Every structure is written in structure tokens, then in C-alpha cells.
Amino acid sequence: MKSKLLSLGVLLLLCCAFVNPTYSQIKSDYDKDADFSKIKTYKFAGWVEDSDEAINQIDKKRVLSALKSQFDARGLELVEDNADAVVTLFVSVDQKTSKSSYTTYNNNMGYGGRWGYGYGYGYGGMGTATTTYTETDYNEGTLVLDLYDTETKSLIWQGVITTVVKSKPNKREKDINKKIAKLMKKFPILPES
């Protein structure tokens, strides 16, 4: 009986871990035929479909600064005109709700109780169960970075970050830098040593 309750408890903890809004997903893809060695300069073309309205001006600067830092580390130069590549950004923020529940079991009599098969024999006893249910609202943000070759006008790299948006500004700044650095590890041009 105890092993069944322990198994149930472990299962409930695992289920709660999957609905806990602390995850982040980072994905990328690139054109295997693109020649990334010819890309030496880039420019930001702005935010697609005015998606930047979903975030504040400070966070927009944080995103652009984090990206510039990562491109600088790879020897790419930010220019105003005649860039080898163009970067477009798209962001969306959606309000989500995380739901979780767990049940606590309490057997008041335990082993040797007076119920069931008699004193000293069994599992008898009155028991109770209490289920706790919680809902947590949070914001999920998705940032899509597209890199286009200006010569061929084709998409050559795309990076996507989906994560929980931190509510505290100082944590958001660290999180933006950390997530963009993690995304750029998948970029075909490696940082210079």
C-alpha cells in the first residue's frame, strides 16, 4: 500500500513539473546551401507587423543589444546600408494559465486500527483525502529572428525562442541575454576566439 502511495506521489510531482511555467524552448534552422562565409555585415530591418508593440521600449533595446553583442562576437559588423544580411524580428506575448493539482491522503487509523478485520489485523480505518487545485497566470513570449541574404533575398537562418516572460525587470534583462546567447550557439557562424 505504501509503495502504491509513493508511486502516486512521484507521478503527481512529475505531472506538476510539466505544467510549471518555467520552461523555455530554443529552436533554429538554416539553409544548408547558403554560404555564411560571405556574410561580414548585417543590418536590422525592424520588427515584423509592428509586433514590437507587444513589448516595451526598454526590452526592445535589450533584445537588440543582446543580438548586437552576439553578432559582434562573430566578427559581423552592424551597418546602415549595403549589408550582406538583413535581420528581421517578430515577437508575440500571450497570457497563459498553468493548472496543477495534488491530493493528500490521510488514513486516521493506520495499521492495527479497530476497523476492518479487527484489532491488530489490517488496513482498516477512516481516511480522508484533500485535493488542492491551483491556477497560475503567466506570460509566454516568442521571439523569431530571421536572417536574409540580401543578394539572393532568401531566408538563410531562423532562430526561435519561446519562454516565460519574467515579471521583474532586472531578471528580464539577464534572461534576455542568456536566452539569446543560447540561441546564437546554434548560429552557423562561430564566435571568434
- How far is the C-alpha of 147 from the C-alpha of 87, rounded, in Å? 5
What pLDDT, on the 0 to 100 scale, is given for residue 1?
45
Where do the domains of the chain lie, and which CATH numbers do they carry? 2-184 (3.30.160)
Q: Is the dihedral of CA 70, 72, 77, 80 positive or negative?
A: positive
The yes-or-no verdict on residue 9 having pLDDT over 50 is: no
DSSP string over 88-133: EEEEEEEEEEEEEEEEEEEESS-TT-SSTTSTTTSS-S-EEEEEEE
Over residues 162-170, mean pLDDT? 85
Task: Supply the pTM of this predicted model.
Answer: 0.70
What pLDDT, on the 0 to 100 scale, is given for residue 182?
95
Task: Give the pLDDT confidence of 64-89 residue by residue, as tens digits.
Answer: 999 999 999 999 999 999 999 999 99
Task: Give the pLDDT confidence of 95-151 residue by residue, as tens digits.
Answer: 877 788 878 877 655 555 454 555 554 555 566 778 888 887 777 889 999 999 999
- Quote the percentage of the chain above a pLDDT of 90: 48
| Residue whose cell numbers read 493548472 | 99
